[in-house]
Structure 1
Amino acid sequence: MSTPSEPSQPSQQPGVPAQPSAYPYPHPQSPPAPGVQGYYSPTVAGHPQPGNPYAAQGPYGPAAAGGRGAGRAVLWAAVGAVAASAAWAAGVFVIGAGASPQLRGYSAPSNLCDRADYSSFKDEYPQDDSAPAHTSLKEDALEEGYCSITLKKTGSSYGDAYLSIQADLHKKTDPGPEFTATWKNYRKSHTGYDVEVVRDIGDEAYLVSQDTTSGSPSSGSRSATLAVRDGWVTYTMSYSAYLSTYNQDKDPPRLDDVTDWLRSDTKATLDRLKD
Structure 2
Amino acid sequence: MQDQPEDVPAQPQAQTSSQPGSTPQPAPAPAPAPAPQPQVQPQPLPHPRPEPAPGPNPGPAPTSTYGAPPGYPPAQQYAYGQPVGFPPPSGGKGTAGRAVLWAAVGAVAASVLWAGGILVLGRVGDNPDLAGYRTKANLCSAVDYTALRTEYTQEDNLPTHNALKHKAIDQSYCSISLKTSTSSSYADAYLSVEMDLHKTTDPAAEFTAVWSEYDQRYEDYEVEEVSGFGDEAYLVTEDTTSGSGTSGSRAVTLAVRDGWMTYQMSWSTYSSSYETTTPPEISEVSRWVKTDTRSTLENLRSD
Q: Give TM class, smaller chain.
A: 0.5 to 0.7
Deviation at 1:96?
3.2
In 2, distance between residues paired with 1:158 and 1:230?
35
- Contact kept, 8 Å, 2:245 with 2:279, in 1: the verdict is no
Residue 162 (1) aligns with residue 190 (2): yes
Deviations along 1:34-70, whole A, 9 cap, x unmatched? Answer: xxxxxxxxxxxxxxxxxxxxxxxxxxxxxxxxxxxxx
Deviation at 1:88, TM superposition (A): 11
Secondary structure at 1:273 match in 2: helix
Give the secondary-structure state (helix, strand or coil) at the position aligned to 2:201.
Answer: coil
Query: What displacement does 1:98 show?
Result: 4.4
Offset at residue 248 of structure 1 (A): 2.0
Runs of 4+ in structure 1 deviating by more than 2 angstroms, as ranges, are 86-93
2:147 is paired with a residue whose SS is: helix
2:231 alignment partner in structure 1: 203
Shift of 1:190: 2.5
Cα–Cα, structure 1 residues 89 and 140, in superposed 2: closer, same or farther, change >3 Å? farther
Structure 2 counterpart of 1:273, one-letter code: L
**Structure-1 residue corresponding to 2:281:** 254
Asked if structure 1 preserves the Cα contact closer than 8 Å seen for 2:184 and 2:275, the reply is no
Counting only pairs closer than 5 Å after superposition, residues 38-53 of structure 1 correspond to structure 2 as: none
> What SS does structure 1 have at the residue aligned with 2:156?
coil
Q: 1:193 aligns with which of 188, 198, 221?
A: 221
Structure 2 unaligned spans of 5+: 1-79, 86-109
**Which residue of structure 1 lines up, in the alignment, with residue 300 of structure 2?**
273
Q: CA deviation at 1:104?
A: 1.4
TM-score, normalised relative to structure 2: 0.60
1:228 to 2:260 alignment: no
CA shift for structure 1 position 99: 2.5
Please state whether the residue corresponding to 1:260 is helix, strand or coil: helix
Q: TM-score, normalised by structure 1?
A: 0.66
The yes-or-no answer on 1:107 pairing with 2:134 is yes
State how many pairs are aligned: 197
How far is 1:93 from its partner?
Answer: 5.6
Distance 1:268-1:133 versus aligned 2 partners, 3 A rule:
same
Counterpart residue type for residue 261 of structure 1: W
- Corresponding residue number in structure 1 for 2:174: 147
Larger RCO (CA under 8 A, 6+ residues apart): 1
Are 2:229 and 1:184 equivalent residues in the alignment? no
**Which of structures 1 and 2 has the bigger CA Rg?**
2
